[in-house]
Amino acid sequence: MTHTPPHEPPELAGRRILLGLTGSVACYKAAELCRLLTQAGARVQVAMSEGAQHFITAATMQALSGQPVFTSQWDERPANGMAHIQLGREADAILVAPASADFLARLAAGRADDLLSLLCLARPRERAPLLLAPAMNREMWSHPATQRNVRQAAADGARVLAVGFGAQACGETGDGRMLQAPELLEEVIAALTPQTLAGRRVVVTAGPTFEAIDPVRGLTNRSSGKMGFAIARAARLAGAQVTLIAGPVHLPTPHGVARVDVESALQMQAALQPALQGADVLIAAAAVADWRAAEVAAQKMKKDGSGLPPPLRFVENPDLLAAAARSPRAQAGQLYCVGFAAESENLLAHAQAKRQRKGVPLLAGNIGPATFGRDDNALLLIDEAGVTELPAGLQPASKRQLARLLVDEIARRLPRR
379 annotated ligand-binding residue: no
CATH class assigned to 201-290+317-413: alpha beta
Of the candidates 145, 177, 137, 138, the one whose C-alpha atom is nearest the C-alpha of residue 161 is 177
Of the candidates 361, 188, 210, the one whose C-alpha atom is nearest the C-alpha of residue 287 is 210
Q: What is the CA radius of gyration of the chain?
A: 25
DSSP 20-62: EE-SSTTHHHHHHHHHHHHHTT-EEEEEE-TTGGGTS-HHHHH
Residue span(s) of the chain under CATH 3.40.50.1950 come to 16-191
Of the candidates 115, 273, 290, the one whose C-alpha atom is nearest the C-alpha of residue 205 is 273
Residue span(s) of the chain under CATH 3.40.50.10300 come to 201-290+317-413
Note the pLDDT tens digit of each residue in 53-86: 999 999 999 999 999 999 988 766 765 656 667 7
CB 272 within 8 A of CB 319: no
Note the pLDDT tens digit of each residue in 88-146: 889 999 999 999 999 999 999 999 889 999 999 989 989 999 999 999 999 999 999 99
CB 234 within 8 A of CB 404: yes
340 annotated ligand-binding residue: yes
29 annotated ligand-binding residue: no
78 annotated ligand-binding residue: no
Q: What's the confidence (pLDDT) of residue 8?
A: 77
Q: Per the residue annotation, which of 34, 120, 170, 337 is the catalytic one?
A: 170
Min mean pLDDT across 44-53, 258-267, 278-287, 341-350 is at 341-350
Of the candidates 113, 130, 117, the one whose C-alpha atom is nearest the C-alpha of residue 192 is 130
The yes-or-no answer on residue 34 being catalytic is no
102 annotated ligand-binding residue: no
Question: What is the CB neighbour count within 10 angstroms for residue 112?
Answer: 17
Under DSSP, the state recorded for 208 is B
Peptide bond into 391 cis (omega under 30): yes
300 annotated ligand-binding residue: yes
CATH architecture type of domain 16-191: 3-Layer(aba) Sandwich (3.40)
At 1, is the pLDDT very low, low, confident or very high (cuts 50, 70, 90)? very low
Question: Which amino acid belongs to residue 129?
Answer: P
CA 100 – CA 121 distance, rounded (Å): 17
319 annotated ligand-binding residue: yes
